[in-house]
Amino acid sequence: MNLIIDVGNSYIKLAVFSNNTLKHRAIVNHDQLIETVVALKEQFNSLKKGIISSVGKLNDKQLAEIKGLLELSILDSNTRLPFKNRYETPETLGVDRMALVSASVRQFSKENVLIIDAGTCITYDFINNKNDYLGGAISPGLRMRYRSLNNLTANLPLLDTEMPNDITGVSTKESIHSGVVHGILNEIDGVIETYKLKYSDLTVILTGGDANFLSKQLKSSIFANSNFLLEGLNFILQFNSNE
C-alpha cells in the first residue's frame, strides 16, 4: 500500500492507495501531519511506501520523521515520469502539473488529453497521443480574481464565491460575480474549443478545488475528477517502484 502526501499552502492532503484503489483520504493542517501519518501506519499495516510533493513547505524535522516511517520518494524535476517531458524549462514545471499529467497517462493512454486544474491558479496541461507533454497555460483562479478586484481597487468588496443569476449584473456585487465566474467559464470553454480545432479527438479532464463548482456550468464535455492529482502521485510512485 502507498501513502500519498500532497502539501498545499493551507492544508495537506493524504491518501492511501492499494494498487490503484483509493482506500482512505484526509485533509489536515500542517501541524497535524506527523500524527496523521503515524495513525495511518497503525491503521494500514501494509503501508510501506510513500511519495510527497511540494516538500519545500515542510521543515527538516517533519521530513526526517516521515522518512523514518516510510520508504519515501520526493517528487521533483529529477523524478522519472511516465511521459516525455517536452517543456522547455522542465526544472520549473510544478510538481502538481507533473502529477496531473501522469494521471492522464494511466487513465487515457495514447489519447490527446487536456487537464484543467481549477485551484488557486487555473492550470492547463496538454499531452498528445504520442505521450509527449507539450506544456499549457496558467491563469488566476476564482478566489484570486475575487481578491484582486478587492485588493487593487478602492471601492470593490471582497465577496464569497457565488454562481451569478445572469450574465448582466444589476448591482456591483452581481457584476463582480458575473465578471469573475462567467469570465472563467468562458475562458475554460474557449481554451477547450481552441484545442479541439487542432485535436478533434480531445479528452478533457477538470479537477481541483473549484471543479465541482464549475463543471455543471461548462458547455464543453469533460470528465470531472477531484482526486486526479492524488491518483497521479500514486502512479508516479508505482512507475518508479517498477523500474
All cell numbers assigned to 118: 481549477
Cβ-proximal residues to 154 (8 Å cutoff; 6+ apart), any chain: none
Active-site residue, from 31, 76, 96, 166: 96
96 is catalytic: yes
Q: What is the b/e burial string over 46-85, where b = at least 16 CB atoms within 10 angstroms of the residue's CB?
A: ebebbbbbbbeebeeebeeebeebbebbbbeeebebbbeb
Contact 96, 57 (CB under 8 A): no
Measured distance CA(139)–CA(184) in Å, rounded: 9
The set of catalytic residues is 96
